[in-house]
Homo-oligomer: A and B are copies of this chain.
Amino acid sequence: MIISMRPHATKEEIEHVCERIREFGYKVHSIQGDERVVIGVVGVGDVTACLESLEAAPGVESAVRISAPYKFVSREFKQEHSAVRVNGVEIGAGEFMVIAGPCSVESERQIMETAEGVAAAGARLLRGGAFKPRTSPYDFQGLELEGLKLLRKAKEATGLAIVTEIMSDRDVDLVAEYADCMQVGARNMQNFALLKTLGTCDRPVLLKRGMSSTIKELLMSAEYIVAHGNPNVILCERGIRTFETATRNTCDIAAIPVLNELTHLPVILDPSHATGRRSLVPAVARAGVAIGADGLILEVHPCPEKAISDGAQSLTLEGFRNLMRDLRPYVELWKELRGAAMAAVG
């Protein structure tokens, strides 16, 4: 930590801050600048508590943390890129992975047709919501248990691993019975009760970045799950909220290499939510492969204009097939890059 005192802080204020720091078990290194005193805090202790306390002390201008507030998810904790296994499929290893499917599970016919279509085109995991977070209480809230059962059926027919959303810590056991991977949506990224419960669950977790969450907050939410016992977390960039309205969200694509510097966890991209418009999905998907994401999650629907939700951003089955075909040469380049990176670390 670095504490900057105000320019005219008194001797007593400075001494008081130093004492408080020592009470927390730290050592003090004070630097007399031309305008103000800056105090370096060294040692091991409760950083947050110390910071919050010092920020409130008289004469203090700012108190800034230098070390990263997360541990298990950091690159410093584990240097090699992690792979997370989802029902036999590995995300974060040597293969580029695609998760595809509808926003919501709507009917047996819809989910079976989609599952077969995306499997044939090369997806290895099926997405589909049974519990749906909807802005309005009057909108379709998902088929719930019925939806989970349909997902299982689709899995049995195609072998695709199932990724589905969990919205409450109360439903963790139920959803875990059907899902191979528990998805935490953007709106629940800081639902800490849910994160803690998922930390005790034996299913991998796909953690989507909150609409207005910083990269650091995303990592802290991942740390919640890992610190509570579950190391299998996949991160997902899905666009953030900004002033721009030409797209549904603003795809923060640089978050992917930033995350790759800060954490060993795998990171995937969601071009569907990041843009909100079907016509933009292929271009953003290419960018995602080129920038080095570990995979993509894409919304696909047999008939988008009959979709109950997110039709505008869903690819048709044909659109998905074309995209998978067009991505192939980019995925080849991705494999070379990945191979070189793995050789470098290994």
Contact = CB atoms under 8 A, between A and B. Distances in A.
Contacts of A171: 193
A43 B48 CA distance: 31
A121 to B, nearest CB: 20
Interface stretch (A92-100, A111-119, A152-160, A214-222): A214-222
Interface stretch (A81-89, A174-182, A247-255): A247-255
Nearest to A41: B33
Most chain B CB neighbours (cut-off 10 Å) among A58, A251, A314: A251
A42 B53 contact: no
Given A212-B212, A287-B287, A217 B43 contact: no
A220 B135 contact: yes
Contact of A38 (B40, B57, B247, B283): B40
A214 B246 contact: yes
Interface string A174-218: 000000000000011011111010000000000000011011110
A35 B139 CA distance: 20
A195 to B, nearest CB: 8
A333 B286 CA distance: 11
B38 A2 contact: yes
Contacts of A196: 137
Contacts of A168: 168-170, 191, 193-194
A190 B139 CA distance: 14
Contact of A139 (B48, B134, B278, B312): B48
A107 B275 CA distance: 44
Contacts of A138: 48, 69, 227
Contacts of A192: 133-134, 137, 141, 167, 187
Contacts of A190: 133, 135, 187-188
Contacts of A67: 33, 35-36
A125 to B, nearest CB: 23
A256 B284 CA distance: 9
A81 B169 CA distance: 36
A223 B139 CA distance: 12
A10 interface: no
Given A241-B243, A333-B330, A54 B305 contact: yes
Nearest to A279: B261
A308 B52 contact: yes
Given A220-B135, A224-B137, A312-B55, A246 B275 contact: no
Given A135-B190, A187-B191, A246-B255, A66 B4 contact: yes
Contacts of A133: 190, 192
A258 interface: yes
Per CB-CB distance, the 10 closest pairs between chain A and chain B, nearest first, are A212-B212, A56-B311, A168-B193, A290-B290, A55-B312, A287-B287, A187-B190, A257-B283, A31-B40, A56-B304
18 contacts: A33-B40, A35-B67, A38-B40, A48-B138, A49-B140, A52-B307, A52-B312, A55-B312, A133-B190, A137-B220, A141-B192, A167-B193, A170-B170, A187-B192, A214-B244, A241-B243, A250-B252, A257-B283
